[in-house]
Amino acid sequence: MAVPSYTVVEGGSIITPRGFRAAGLHCGLKKTERNDIGAIVCEVPAAAAAVYTTNIFQAAPLQTTRESLVNGVLRAVIVNSGNANACTGKQGDADAYEMRALAASSFGVDEQDVAVASTGVIGENLKMDCVRDGISRLADVLTNEADGGEQFSQAILTTDLVKKELCVSVSIDGVPVTIAGAAKGSGMIHPNMATMLAFVTTDAKIGSEALHTLLKRTTDNTFNMITVDGDTSTNDMLVAMASGLSEQKKELNESHPDWAAFAEAFAAVCEHLAKAISRDGEGATKLVEVVVSGAESAESARAIAKTVIGSSLVKTAVYGADANWGRIIAAVGRAGVPVNPHTVDIKLGDIVVLTASQPVPFDEEVALEYLKGDTVSIFVELHMGDQQATAWGCDLTYDYVRINAAYRT
């Protein structure tokens, strides 16, 4: 296995890259005392890019953020949890714009340079008195100390059980460049974005156009390859900001000699966050990984991997530690892409259960023990080409129904 070009920064957070501060606190949007409003602020104009949910019903903050990103620059992101501000009509639009204006005034930046994100219950108006109070207090607690990153990561969570974050360092022009990420997501997760918010910061010198190209390409292979329950939300957003405050000599683009190393490190952060969302799926007990190889095209490999990882029957079989490969091959066959029905191999971890689309003897007890683990890998070899793809998800449990049956209460 190749040695990665990056190293993990232990204890790093969203504000480890130079130029960033963050904060989070409780303002009253949630019924619990958990943080529910947070911000990331850059001390200089940051090159910025974003990708959004594919759901036709898009929450008000997404349009606000799109308008802010017209020039590819941001200074701040203001985020609330507990309320999605989605399907809230003209009032929701007005509230999102007010959040942007309040944050700009509080943080001393131009209104055009503020992104807005929300997550939580759909169809309820924001408690703007709480939002106003929260934003006014955030400015006093913004910090580049570790606690700022911690409080922000907590502020974006909804049904999540744990925060999701990673920070890495990579050498560019012989000097260290830092990339960090924080995300939330646990349910209503499906390929092509999910009910997730994710934020990536870096001190790399990179233009907004190159950053957007990298972000879109990386998203297709990470966040767009996860599923928990097959639903895509109204609020999904991934925002990347680059302060440009590293000591590297030349601006990064695809012709830079260290571009591949930077792209690998950037992808590592996004993949870690995507897998963390899958592992923390509502009610989940294990992370499930599906690796499809030998496909005719990358698109075919992705389609099959996402179909298998999204199958409720596969997910329940994994939960029950049932080595039912029939559910896997059935999902492969309904993915809507060409498959040779005579050449498919399937493995559960190292356990071969199917060769050339025919069952082979395997030890059920060994398979049972493997499937009881907290990470399950399913390998599908098509023997049709040289393309592959990986998707991530989780098992489907009784607790998923319990959590979502009472989401609003």
One domain, residues 177 and 43: yes
One domain, residues 252 and 332: no
Considering 255, 279, 303, which residue would you say is the last residue of a domain? Answer: 279
pLDDT of residue 56: 76
Task: Find the CATH number of the domain harbouring 314.
Answer: 3.10.20.340
Position 306 in a domain: yes
pLDDT greater than 50 at residue 191: no
Considering 279, 313, 339, which residue would you say is the last residue of a domain? Answer: 279
User: How wide is the angle at C-alpha 91 spanned by C-alphas 189 and 127, nearest 5°?
Assistant: 70
Residue 108 one-letter amino acid: G
Q: What value does the mean pLDDT take over residues 92-118? A: 97
Looking at the structure of the chain, the number of domains it has is 2
One domain, residues 320 and 188: no
Task: Find the CATH number of the domain harbouring 60.
Answer: 3.60.70.12
The span from the CA of 49 to the CA of 38, in Å, is 19
Position 92 in a domain: yes
Query: What's the pLDDT tens digit per position in 350-388?
Result: 999 999 999 999 999 999 999 999 999 999 999 999 999
Could you say which of 195, 222, 307, 397 is catalytic? 195
Query: What's the pLDDT tens digit per position in 17-36?
Result: 999 999 999 999 988 889 99
Position 140 in a domain: yes
One domain, residues 299 and 172: no
pLDDT of residue 55: 74
Q: Is residue 168 a contact partner of residue 268, using CB atoms and an 8 Å limit?
A: yes
Q: pLDDT tier at 198 (50, 70, 90 boundaries)?
A: very high
One domain, residues 258 and 236: yes
Query: What's the pLDDT tens digit per position in 273-283?
Result: 988 887 766 66
Considering 216, 246, 279, which residue would you say is the last residue of a domain? Answer: 279
**pLDDT averaged over the chain?**
91
One domain, residues 295 and 312: yes
One domain, residues 64 and 136: yes
Q: pLDDT tier at 142 (50, 70, 90 boundaries)?
A: very high
195 is catalytic: yes
One domain, residues 230 and 257: yes
Q: pLDDT tier at 194 (50, 70, 90 boundaries)?
A: very low
Q: pLDDT tier at 193 (50, 70, 90 boundaries)?
A: very low
Position 307 in a domain: yes
Q: What value does the mean pLDDT take over residues 252-263? A: 97
Expressed as residue numbers, the domain containing 14 is 6-279
Q: pLDDT tier at 1 (50, 70, 90 boundaries)?
A: low
